[in-house]
Structure 1
Amino acid sequence: MRVPSLFRFFILLSVSSTWLFVQPAFAESDSGPYSGISPLSYLLGAYSPEKTLVAYKNPGDSRIFYLRQETLSAFLKMVEAYKKDHPEERQIPFLVSAFRSFNDQKGIWEDKFTGKRKMREGIQGKNPLQIINLILEYSSAPGTSRHHWGTDIDINSLENSYFEKGGRGEKLYQWLRQNAFKYGFCQPYSPRSERGNKGYDEEKWHWSYARLANDFQKDWEKEYKKGNLTLTGKFLGSETLGELPMEYVGSVNPECKSISGRR
């Protein structure tokens, strides 16, 4: 629902004969976070990115990536800062993934669930929960990915070794660790030891525009607890997830939470 910037709509609610004014949980302005899209659809990635995200191509690359304007602006500023600090460096940040819809994530998930896509181990002889735990090392269940929000990007390589000692992206990763927060970014999936040994394995390539993503995460967790984000029956293995979605959405690098958001 859209709310004019100078006014708020209030819902008149009667509780025990007392009239209260309650602000909608997702009240927003015309430039607000959901841009006219149903908040629940947005949080689940069940929308067309053309409606609220912007398109971007890496220089010399024909692939189109969608992300929020705020995310893109901050990313481009960060790229320029890195180039200024390392004018000799050829490995500058570039996108390999950004927005992914519910259906995009469903395709990844079900390809892994059925063994069509390679994982660390094969699925033969494993029960559904064992397969799910294997998938969740690096892939989110549909409806639970931060990539649904247009705030998260994967850069340069989907291999941690690229960013580690001796890798082509070692210098870039060290710079990001020291400077990304200045532009509102953080690495959400830092070593699991920093996150109570919960959630996904470390992803050195995954960076989140926390100034917005923190708020979307809070909204996701709130709506999931209220039972408004229903996943059961929407993809293979969904009946076996239990409370894993809450654990994996919430198990984020504590440094991300220190980046101030829009609210």
Structure 2
Amino acid sequence: MIKVLIPILMFGLWSASCSDTGSSSHKLNEQKSQAKARTAAQTEAAEQVDLDLDYLMGHFDPAQHADFAKISSPYADRADMYMRKDAYEAFKSMHAAALKEGISLKIISAARNFDAQKGIWEAKWNGSRILSNGENAAKAYPLAKNRAIKIMEYSAMPGASRHHWGTDIDLNNLSDKWFLQGDGQKIYAWLVKNAGNFGFCQPYSVKNAERPHGYNEEKWHWSYMPVSNKLTTFARNYMKDKLITGFSGAETAVEIGVVEKYVLGINQQCQ
């Protein structure tokens, strides 16, 4: 009896092992297939970008632009936000993957055109909107250059914001401290590990020898690279400081070197 049972048991173990191996192999092939599909979609997105300075500098209405879509409520914390369709589809895939691991990604800011950015900038410039450190910039920084640099710790000049492009989004919270503990820490760790698989990168990383200029670190700000990389290259070749005009304090752009230090002053991994 024992002689009969041993082969049967060994066959059962072998069958279970083969079943597990087959399941793992299937999952791996499925993941590779999904990754290949994402790469193809990202390549196609990069090839379909219409490049011109009006687009780059936000002189259009995202709600009326054929390449933009309204972000629906499951993905955003408020209505009437827009982003590029290609970036939006990539985000939805990332959102679904994150949910499977108990991570909830929520867009709190997306595309902002020139006029929207001008509203933010001038409110900070004239002191009607207080800076994140509690200061009134108009009172604390009477010298125009110093005031502009202080505002640009976290806010771009109109015409020089990546949010014009429809590729960049702010997620969950606008405080770096929030991402250092609890749910924020889990979300940021997941993004650092996984966002690149969906084409997203954190453009405003820690400022150091590799990134000495530009905005302060923003753990919440993520950019869809298949499109934003192309726009960054276009900005490097054609955007000039003298083109940044039409708002209070614009005269400081040339003196500060906004294009070189801020528009191009991003995480090297996002270029």
Give the TM-score category using the shorter length: 0.7 to 0.9
Aligned position for 1:261:
none
Aligned position for 2:126:
114
Moved more, 73-82 or 240-249: 240-249
Give the residue type in structure 2 aligned to 1:148: H
Aligned position for 1:22:
none
SS in 2 for 1:241: helix
Give the residue type in structure 2 aligned to 1:254: Q
SS in 2 for 1:99: coil
Structure 1 residue 125, shift from structure 2 partner: 4.8
Give the residue type in structure 1 aligned to 2:59: A
SS in 1 for 2:223: strand
Give the residue type in structure 2 aligned to 1:47: F
| Residues 211, 267 of structure 2: 8 Å contact kept | no
Aligned position for 1:6:
none
SS in 1 for 2:266: coil
State the percentage of identical aligned residues.
38
CA change 1:180–1:230 in 2 (3 A) is: same
Give the residue type in structure 1 aligned to 2:259: P
Aligned position for 1:24:
none
Question: For 2:71, which of 56, 60, 69 is the aligned residue?
Answer: 56
Give the residue type in structure 2 aligned to 1:41: D
SS in 2 for 1:168: helix
Structure 1 residue 62, shift from structure 2 partner: 5.0
Structure 1 segment 84-99 matched on structure 2, within 5 A: 84-86=100-102, 89=103, 92-99=104-111
Structure 1 segment 193-208 matched on structure 2, within 5 A: 193=208, 195-208=210-223
Q: Which has the larger radius of gyration?
A: 2
SS in 2 for 1:221: helix
**Separation in 1, partners of 2:182, 2:204:** 19
SS in 2 for 1:208: strand
**Separation in 2, partners of 1:125, 1:56:** 38
**Separation in 2, partners of 1:253, 1:245:** 15
| Residues 125, 248 of structure 2: 8 Å contact kept | yes
Q: Does 1:240 align with 2:252?
A: yes
Question: For 2:203, which of 166, 175, 188 is the aligned residue?
Answer: 188
The structure that is strand-richer by fraction is 1
CA deviation map 1:60-87 (0-9, x unaligned): 855121111110111011111111123x
Structure 1 residue 205, shift from structure 2 partner: 0.4
Question: For 1:45, which of 50, 55, 58 is the aligned residue?
Answer: 58
Aligned position for 1:256:
270
Q: TM-score if structure 2 supplies the norm length?
A: 0.75
**Separation in 2, partners of 1:247, 1:146:** 14
Aligned position for 1:149:
165
CA change 1:160–1:167 in 2 (3 A) is: farther
Q: TM-score if structure 1 supplies the norm length?
A: 0.77
**Separation in 1, partners of 2:99, 2:204:** 25
What are structure 2's unaligned runs of at least 5 residues? 1-44
Question: For 2:117, which of 99, 105, 119 is the aligned residue?
Answer: 105
**Separation in 2, partners of 1:244, 1:48:** 24
**Separation in 2, partners of 1:167, 1:131:** 34
**Separation in 2, partners of 1:178, 1:61:** 24
- Root-mean-square deviation (CA, aligned residues, Å) is 2.0
| Residues 188, 256 of structure 1: 8 Å contact kept | yes
**Separation in 2, partners of 1:221, 1:235:** 22
How many residues matched?
Answer: 217
**Separation in 1, partners of 2:188, 2:92:** 16
Moved over 4 A (4+): none
**Separation in 2, partners of 1:42, 1:221:** 15
Aligned position for 1:224:
239
Give the residue type in structure 1 aligned to 2:260: M
CA deviation map 1:231-250 (0-9, x unaligned): 23x11011112122331011
What are structure 1's unaligned runs of at least 5 residues? 1-28, 258-263
**Separation in 2, partners of 1:203, 1:195:** 16
